[in-house]
Each structure stands twice: as C-alpha cells, then as structure tokens.
Structure 1
Amino acid sequence: MFHSLINGKNKYINPDAVLILSAGKGERLKPITNFIPKPLIDIEGVPVFAFSLFLAYKAGFREFIVNTHHLAEILEEKLKELGEKKKIEFKIIREKELLGTGGTIKYVFEKFKYQKILVMNSDVICDADIESFIKSWKISDSIAHIMVKEGEPGGVEVDEKSGKVKRIYGEGKGGKFTFTGIHLVKNEIKNYLEGEIPLCIVRKGYSKILNEDKENISFFIHDGLFFDIGTPERLNRVRETIRIMMKKEKEKEKDSLSPTEKRFYNFFALVKSFLYENENEQNSIA
C-alpha cells in the first residue's frame, strides 16, 4: 500500500483496502457463465477482472479483497496463480449466500475494521486515473465518493457546482451521468445497510442516504473509457471492437483508428502486457 497522498495544503489519506466485487452469477451472460465465473470472461486474451485490477495496481495497491461465490474454486485458483506471479495478495471472502454489493461492503468493514475502502467492479472496462480519483475526495465532506461518466444509461443526478450527488435513480431512470461502479466509501456506510441479504449498495445505501438527506455523497467525473460487459450484446460489442483494432494494428492501419479506439487499444495493450511477460503465458491466466 502506498503512502498518504499530499496535494498542496490538503492531505488525502489512501484507502485501507481495495475491494473488487466478483461474486455475481452473471445470469444475463448465460450460457457463458454456466462454466466460467464472470470475472474470468475472456476479452481477446484478457480476463475482464484484470482491467480493474490493473487500475489499482498501477496506483500502487498490492493487497486486494475479492469476494467469490459462483464457480468460486475456479476464480480462486486463477487469483492464486496471478498473485504468485505478480506478488499480489488476494484476501478471499467466499460467500455461501450472495451478500450483494452493500452486504459485502458491510461485511468487509465489520471483519477487517477498515475506516475507508476503494470499491471496484470486476465486469467493466474503464481506464480511470485512480490516484486522481482518490486525491479528489474531500473526506470530511462526504460519506462516499463515486466515479461517474456522462452519458447513457444514466441514472445519476448531480450538482456540479457543489460537487454533490443529488439522486441515484438506477440505469436509464434519470440523470445524465452513469455510475461506473468505482467508489470510495467510509466505514459509517455500514450503519445504513440494514435488512435481508442480498443488499444493494445503491438502493439500500446511497439512495437511502440521499432521500433522508443525512449525509453527502460526492462525485468525480471520468471522461475516458467505460464499458460494461454485463450483457451478451455489450460483451460481443467490446470483443468485436478489439478484434477490429487488432486487425488494423496488424495491417499497419492504426492511423485509421478514431481517438477513442486508439485510447481503447492502448489501454487494452497495457493490461495485456501487465498480465503476460510473453505470449506463451496467456493460457495460464485467461
């Protein structure tokens, strides 16, 4: 774990841990997820969870908490292999029953006594600057700090002047910003996460907090890549985009890529090189 971050007169304390949420069954991605845990779904040689892992690793983190449930043994074995190779420590929480995003966050705070954590999803592709995100959180002003991106499917309404979230409606139900699933959370959030599991951090946590107007939730706008592979259509779109980009690169036509495609291709190449020291190692992880 790296040291506290300093920016001018303000001191930004690094999160105590990184939680990568990985227990979902991937119901919408069946039949793929009948045999493969969603975090290990292949994106042209890269398991999808590696995109989030890389972001936190690049920011200096070497210890991660990962919750598992569906096909847990397969995912845990791959994490063990990767941990040994990259000198990363994975603390595994195997959920006999799905706790939900909120339930897992609450469990992590209660079990490990952390004061604040960075939470990420394992099924998105996002090239966010995690260090800048952490530095942007004025800890004394909010119970949580969420990363959003402008555009569909939306669901998050913000006040850009105050830097505070006004409402979180859910996908496609209002607001011009989309929650990326990357957020910084204080221990106090657990006091709002009550009821039967599985508990959703948005519905049972953030929406409740905002409706009761008891705490502030701040936000950070990410203006780069963000892809959710949670449906077959989205997954196929991402895979096809990368295939096209790889073909153009092979045929020396990289200049024909759009700025967004170039950014995507470069990020994909970075993550792939992070995983593999040479091409012969690909089958050992993905």
Structure 2
Amino acid sequence: MMKAMILAAGYGTRFRPVTYTLPKPLVPLCNRPLIGWAVESLLVAGIRDLIVNVHHLAEAIEGHLRAHYLARAEIAFSFEKEILGTGGGVRRVRAQLEPGQDFLLVNGDTVQFPPYEELIAARRAHDSLAALTLRHPPENDRFTAVWLENGFITRFGRGPGQSTAEPLMFSGSHAISSKIFQYLPDKEFSGIVDEVYQPLLNAKRETIAAVVSDGLWFDIGTPQRYLSASRTLLDAIVRGDVPPPADSRVRGDSLVDRSSAAGGTLVRSTIGARSVVRGELHDTNVWDDCAIGGNARLERCIVAHGVELSGHIELQDALVCCDHPAIPQDPMYERREGLVIVRV
C-alpha cells in the first residue's frame, strides 16, 4: 500500500502573530485547516497510510489529526527536535517509507488538488527518481523557476542557457522512488532539491519527471495570500466545483459552519464553528469561537480563533487575534483590549 508524507514542521513565520500560538497547518481556510485539505486530497486518491512530520506546536497538530482522521486513515507522526529540512525529514522515516516502490510527499500548508495517479504514473514510466507537480506561475509572481523539457525537469533555479526548456513553478507535491534513500546525505539536516535532485541532474545519474497541472492551488504564505486564496476557494465552493467541509453549508455567496449563529450581513465571507456574528462582514474570514457584535463592520479581514469584537468597530484589511504571552512586542502589532491587530 502506498504511503504519503505530509510536511508540517515549519514555524509559519510569515503568518505571525497568529502562528505564535497556532501551527500554520491548522490555520483554517474555508472552515477546514490547511493540513485537512492535504489529508482529504490524499484520502480521495485512496492513500490512507500517512506520516506527518511535526516540530512547532506539534501537540496541536497531532491532536487535531487524531481527533478527525484516525477512523479514516493510519497516521504516524515524526517529531523533529530540530527542523531537519525536507531531505532530513524524509531520511528520518526511512524505515517506514523505503520498503515501498515509491511514496508521495506533500506540503501541509498549501491547498492543492494534485493529480496523484498521473504523478505516480509519470515517475514509474521511466523509473525516474521522482515526479513533481508543476504549474504556470501567476502573473508578476516571484518564484524559483523549475525548467521543464519534454516531460522532464532539467534544472532548478537559474536558467539553463540555450534551451527550449520552459520555466514553471513547483506546486508542492512529489512522487518519489524509494531509490531516494541511496542519495540522501548522511546527516541530520538536508534539502531535497539542492542536495539531491539538482546534483543528480547535473551528473545525469537520474531523471526527474513532472506533471503540469494548473488546477486550484493556493500558497498560504502571508495574510494577503490567505485573503486572495479564501476568495477564490470560496467562489469555487459556492459554484459547486469544490465540496464544502462536511460541517459547513453555503449561504448565498458565503460559507457558514452549521454550529455557528450568523444573524448579520454576510457578503462573500466565511464563519467558523461556534462563532456568533451579528455585525456586517464583507470578504472576511471569521474562524472558530468568535463573537462579532452588531455594531461591527469588517471588510477584508481575518478574525482568528476566540476573538470577541463588541461595541462600534470598523476594520479594513486587518488580521485580528487574541493577545497571548507568546506574542512579543512589535511596532507592527496594535494591542487593544486583549487583542492584537495587524494591518495586511
């Protein structure tokens, strides 16, 4: 049975201050944590044997996955006392992954719907070391180019000179042969692209295939990217292109958890579990256990777990979370009545 490894050990630094107290893979997008989207896509593909590497706030990730998925999947956790990098993280679970012909490796903090069967077939067709999902980059986006020619990757990063190769963007999923363990550096920390893939391509010792897929894909690196991703994914759910999470329902152009109470005005917004909304929301994402009073008007905002907004308040382009001792003093953070507000 094929296994998959989900990478979930990072700090999520670009999504601070939220990620000081919530691991980024548990940040909800359209009422489902980011890592939940990764798990669901694997389950749909018939992959139920999962390994998740964890480090930052590991107990929260483990607790969520055990509570929501143990009845549907076999999940093992690899706790990294120090972050090991992609190569080091894979090397640490060699005993679980090496016996199979190949395995899948996916990011736990992006939302994507990879063509896993096509990816596996591309790797196996020529016994390539790996096959990666690539996509055409969004206009004016900054990215590390992955050069593709005749279905195979020729290099990563700087252009290959005189070539017909096309520069594309890596979208975060691999199908990898168990041969990888012959090549991973014998050390704790390592990267997989710069220390394995690229050197082997340079030496022409292995091939790396690719599948180009321009379907829905979201890199939730920053609050700004989160807001853009939420709008696009919400629209897809409202159209019926993507099924909503089981506990949520579509209401007009918005998505509302069934346990919430949303009596205010909702325009293209999401309401999480057990939240109560009486105010006016436009293009706003309210997470779980929040209370938004009737005199609140929020536009293009992210309201993190447990936030209470009472009295007259208007916010635009802001991230709001509960204050916590783990959140340091920072001139970018506005502190107000037990809350931290960051303009995005």
With the shorter chain as reference, the TM-score category is 0.7 to 0.9
Q: Deviations over 1:190-239 (max 9, x none)?
A: 23221654312111121121122211111111131121112232112212
* Unpaired runs of at least 5, structure 1: 2-15, 250-261
3-state DSSP of counterpart to 1:165:
strand
Higher relative contact order (CA 8 A, sep 6+): 1
CA distance in 2, matches of 1:227, 1:25: 18
Q: CA deviation at 1:35?
A: 0.8
Distance 1:57 1:276, change over 3 A: farther
Is contact 1:19-1:120 (8 Å) kept?
yes
| 2:174 equivalent in structure 1 | 183
Taking the TM superposition and a 5 Å limit, the aligned residue runs for 1:139-218 are 139-152=125-138, 153=143, 155-160=145-150, 163-169=151-157, 176-194=167-185, 196-218=187-209
| 1:272 equivalent in structure 2 | 245
Q: Deviations over 1:230-259 (max 9, x none)?
A: 22321122124456x38x95xxxxxxxxxx
Which letter maps to 1:155?
A
Which letter maps to 2:258?
E
CA distance in 2, matches of 1:114, 1:27: 35
CA distance in 2, matches of 1:196, 1:279: 48
Which of 208, 213, 219 does residue 210 from structure 2 map onto? 219
**Structure ranking higher in strand proportion:** 2
Which letter maps to 1:272?
P
Which letter maps to 1:158?
L
3-state DSSP of counterpart to 2:47:
coil
| 1:65 equivalent in structure 2 | 51
Which letter maps to 2:13?
E
CA distance in 1, matches of 2:123, 2:187: 31
CA distance in 1, matches of 2:120, 2:60: 32
Is contact 1:164-1:216 (8 Å) kept?
yes
Is contact 1:54-1:271 (8 Å) kept?
no
Is contact 1:82-1:88 (8 Å) kept?
no
Distance 1:242 1:219, change over 3 A: closer
Which letter maps to 1:218?
A
CA distance in 2, matches of 1:205, 1:100: 12
| 1:134 equivalent in structure 2 | 120
3-state DSSP of counterpart to 2:171:
strand
Distance 1:38 1:214, change over 3 A: same
CA distance in 1, matches of 2:121, 2:202: 27
Taking only the aligned residue pairs, the percentage that are identical comes to: 29
- Normalising by structure 1, we get a TM-score of 0.77
Which letter maps to 2:259?
N
Which letter maps to 2:148?
V
| 1:120 equivalent in structure 2 | 106
Which letter maps to 1:150?
H
CA distance in 2, matches of 1:29, 1:212: 38
Which of 224, 236, 246 does residue 227 from structure 2 map onto? 236
User: 4+ runs of 1 displaced by more than 3 Å?
Assistant: 110-113, 240-243, 275-278, 280-286
**Structure ranking higher in helix proportion:** 1
CA distance in 2, matches of 1:141, 1:187: 11
| 2:80 equivalent in structure 1 | 95
CA distance in 2, matches of 1:134, 1:81: 30
What is the number of equivalent residue pairs in this alignment?
A: 248
Higher mean displacement: 32-41 or 205-214: 205-214
3-state DSSP of counterpart to 1:218:
strand
CA distance in 1, matches of 2:94, 2:65: 22
CA distance in 2, matches of 1:18, 1:41: 21
* Unpaired runs of at least 5, structure 2: 159-164, 250-256, 261-271, 275-286, 289-344
Larger radius of gyration: 2
- Normalising by structure 2, we get a TM-score of 0.65
